[in-house]
Amino acid sequence: MINTFQILGMSAGKPQLDQSVSSYMISCSNYDIMIDCGEGTYLEWLKHKYSWDKLRYIFITHLHPDHVGGLINLLFYKKLSNSITPIIIYGPKKLQEYVDLNLKMQNINLSYSYKILTNSKFEKLNDDISVESALMKHSVKCLSYRFNALNFSIVIATDTLPNDNTVDLASNCDILVHECTFLNDNLEKAKQTYHCTLNDALYIAEKAKAKRLILSHFGNEIKNKIDNVSFNNQKCIINNIRINCNG
């Protein structure tokens, strides 16, 4: 069962004074799932009082630093905290190489068991949540993820050009978290950098028949301009609020 969902960070490209880069938390009854771990994630995770013993799964969308730049630090801090619970990390193919190289270069030997899985098909997590992934259209290999429980479904879609894979993955989901890197008047730059505009995100959410759209992956320069955007009569900007998924 999915109990809560929270954005730890959603700034695009680089951290802001009031917002870290990408990271999201799904809390279940007995364990937590982290999606992406950009720079500064650990401080946000600590601030919201999450537990090492419950953090069992990390899903990485792609290897750009605003999505994975805090991963090695997080793994190291887990060791320093004397946590011995195992952890499983999912992500694109080169994630194994990324983690191995960084741990080796920094001479870090983790004191707990971990494994990295880079296939695109996932088993159920602890028999109660199933996970699906879809390949996005970005400048590097990028995956979006869907988390299905009996009571709720959440899709994290970033970074990408608009595409049918996102629509299929997000079909009838309860929450679609979708990137909104650019405003509509910056369409050409969005295309050049393999990102979406506000209209793209709204279109995908409508086409997928998502129940709720949450916008993410944008900078402070556009935040005030999209702060009042809504979808299905619900605000699309939630900042760092923890959402109850049990009705």
Per-residue pLDDT of the chain (247 residues; tens, 9 = 90+): 899 999 999 999 898 888 899 999 999 989 999 999 999 999 999 999 999 999 999 999 999 999 999 999 999 999 999 999 999 999 998 999 999 999 999 999 999 999 999 876 666 777 789 999 999 999 999 999 999 998 899 999 999 999 999 999 999 999 999 999 999 999 999 999 999 999 999 999 999 999 999 999 998 778 889 989 999 999 999 877 899 998 6
Q: How high is the pLDDT of residue 224?
A: 85
Task: Retrieve residue 61's tokens.
Answer: 């969308």
Measured distance CA(22)–CA(11) in Å, rounded: 6
| Domain annotation for the chain: domains and CATH numbers | 2-244 (3.60.15.10)
d(CA 150, CA 105): 42
- Give residue 121's pLDDT: 67
How many C-beta atoms surround the C-beta of residue 156 within 10 A? 26
The closest alpha carbon to 212, from 158, 182, 175, 157, belongs to: 175
Over its C-alpha atoms, the chain yields an Rg (Å, rounded) of 17
pLDDT at position 222: 87
**Residue 22 φ/ψ region, left for φ over 0, alpha for ψ in the -120 to 50 degree band, beta for the rest:** beta
Which two tokens mark 46? 């600590």
Query: HSE of 215 in the Cβ direction (CA atoms, 13 Å)?
Result: 29
